[in-house]
Amino acid sequence: KIEIPPKGEIPALQAIADAKGLSKWANPKLAYVLKKDPKTEKYTKLKLNLEAGYKDLSSKANIILSKDDMIVIPSLAEGAVAPEATQVMVAGKVNKPGVVLFEPGEQGTLVRAILKAGNFNKFANKSKVRIIRRVKGKNIAISVNIKELLEAGKISNDIKLLSGDLIIIDDSWY
Domain edge (last residue) among 33, 48, 72 = 72
> Regarding predicted confidence, which is higher, 142 or 23?
142
93 and 164, same structural domain? yes
Least confident of 31-35, 149-153, 163-167: 149-153
Domain range for 118 is 86-171
pLDDT at 131: 96
Residue 139 lies in a domain: yes
Residue 58 lies in a domain: yes
CA distances from 32 to 16, 81, 109 (A): 12, 22, 30
